[in-house]
């Protein structure tokens, strides 16, 4: 690639949704396949979202997904948790 296209760094954000008729295990398998495809296509990072207490999403622990992903030579795994509670409210 050359010019502006070579400077464009793309990433994937996967929420691991559990579709109708699918199990959380199906969703995690699809996430692994997506991460593999992202690496093959040259994406620089595969992001996974954390969802706690959301039955429509299988991705609650990125550490588990990271453990089942094959070694990613070119892309890396990232996660971000948006605070949804006031600081310290989870300690009560």
The answer to whether residue 22 sits within a structural domain is: yes
The answer to whether residue 25 sits within a structural domain is: yes
The answer to whether residue 88 sits within a structural domain is: no
Longest dimension (CA), the chain: 55
The domain total for the chain is 1
- 40-50: pLDDT as tens digits: 898 988 888 77
The answer to whether residue 32 sits within a structural domain is: yes
The model carries a pTM of: 0.70
The answer to whether residue 2 sits within a structural domain is: no
The answer to whether residue 26 sits within a structural domain is: yes
- Residue 90 — very low, low, confident or very high, per pLDDT cuts 50/70/90? very low
Q: How far is CA 32 from CA 4, 37, 70, 86, in A?
A: 30, 9, 8, 33
The answer to whether residue 41 sits within a structural domain is: yes
Rounded to an integer, what distance in angstroms lies between the CA atom of residue 16 and that of residue 30? 8
DSSP labels, 3-40: THHHH---EEEE--B--TT--HHHHHHHHHHHHHHHHH
The answer to whether residue 48 sits within a structural domain is: yes
**Residue range of the domain that includes 45:** 13-82
Q: Residue 22 has what pLDDT? A: 95
């Amino acid at each position: 690639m050359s010019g502006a296209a070579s400077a464009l760094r793309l990433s994937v954000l996967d929420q691991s949704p559990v579709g109708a008729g699918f199990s959380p295990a199906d969703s995690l398998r699809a996430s692994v396949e997506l991460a593999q495809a992202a690496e093959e296509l040259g994406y620089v990072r595969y992001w996974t979202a954390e969802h706690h207490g959301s039955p429509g999403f299988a991705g609650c622990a990125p550490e588990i997904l990271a453990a089942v992903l094959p070694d990613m030579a070119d892309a890396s795994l990232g996660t971000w948790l948006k605070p949804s509670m006031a600081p310290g409210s989870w300690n009560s």
